[in-house]
């Protein structure tokens, strides 16, 4: 999963923030997103690995936030979803005998890296609470 990972993750976290006292089931969350519950559980597994949520198995189980929403930034969420922004690379290895081909990916990476810094600075200023309170 790449394309929707951040969007799905933040959707999950927003729901958890809206119901701070409940363990929400993957089925319930999936209902809000119109997504398969297994995919929700996979994203939750990632969030658990980052100690952002905790979940309880068994009947009446589910997931709830394990951190303070005012202290979790969108930048952290962004990084948890393994995302970097960028404008992509050509899929094939360019020709190393061409001066342009030889360095194109390196130069694109430098460019994208600057983009990430800019965007990272922006996302760092927004907490999950901020985002969630827009709803």
For residue 132, state whether it binds DNA (rule: CB under 7 A). no
In terms of Cβ atoms closer than 10 Å to its own Cβ (0-12, 13-18, 19+), residue 9 is buried
- Looking at the DSSP assignment, which residues form a beta bridge with residue 63? 24, 55
91 binds DNA (CB under 7 A): yes
How far is Cα 135 from Cα 108, in angstroms, rounded to an integer?
37
Mark 61-72 as b/e (b = at least 16 C-beta within 10 Å): ebbbbebebeeb
With contacts defined by CB under 7 A, name the span among 3-11, 79-87, 110-118, 123-131 that binds DNA: 3-11
> How many Å separate Cα 95 from the centre of its chain?
34
| Interface positions with a copy of itself (CB under 8 A) | 2-8, 10-11, 14-15, 18, 31-35, 74, 78, 81, 83, 85-95, 98-101, 103-104, 107-108, 111, 114-115, 118-119, 122, 126, 131, 134-135
The set of residues, in sequence order, having a beta carbon less than 8 Å from that of 71 and lying 6+ positions away, is 127
Which partner from the list a copy of itself, DNA, none does 38 bind, CB cut-off 5 to 8 Å by kind?
DNA
Candidate segments 10-18, 21-29, 68-76, 116-124, binder of DNA by CB under 7 A? 21-29
Residue number with CB closer to DNA (56 or 102): 56
- Tell me which residues touch DNA (CB under 7 A): 1-5, 24-27, 35-39, 41-42, 44-45, 48, 55-63, 90-92
């Amino acid at each position: 999963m790449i394309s929707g990972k951040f969007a799905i993750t933040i959707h999950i976290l927003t729901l958890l923030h809206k119901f701070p006292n409940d363990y929400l089931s993957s089925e319930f969350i999936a209902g809000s997103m119109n997504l398969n519950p297994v995919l929700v559980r996979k994203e939750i597994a990632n969030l658990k690995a980052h100690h952002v949520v905790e979940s309880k198995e068994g009947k009446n189980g589910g997931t709830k936030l394990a951190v303070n929403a005012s202290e979790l930034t969108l930048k952290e969420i962004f990084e948890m979803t393994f995302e970097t922004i960028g404008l992509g690379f050509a899929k094939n290895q360019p020709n190393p005998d061409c001066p342009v081909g030889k360095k194109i990916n390196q130069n694109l990476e430098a460019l994208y890296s600057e983009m990430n810094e800019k965007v990272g600075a922006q996302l760092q200023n927004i907490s999950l609470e901020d985002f969630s309170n827009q709803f």
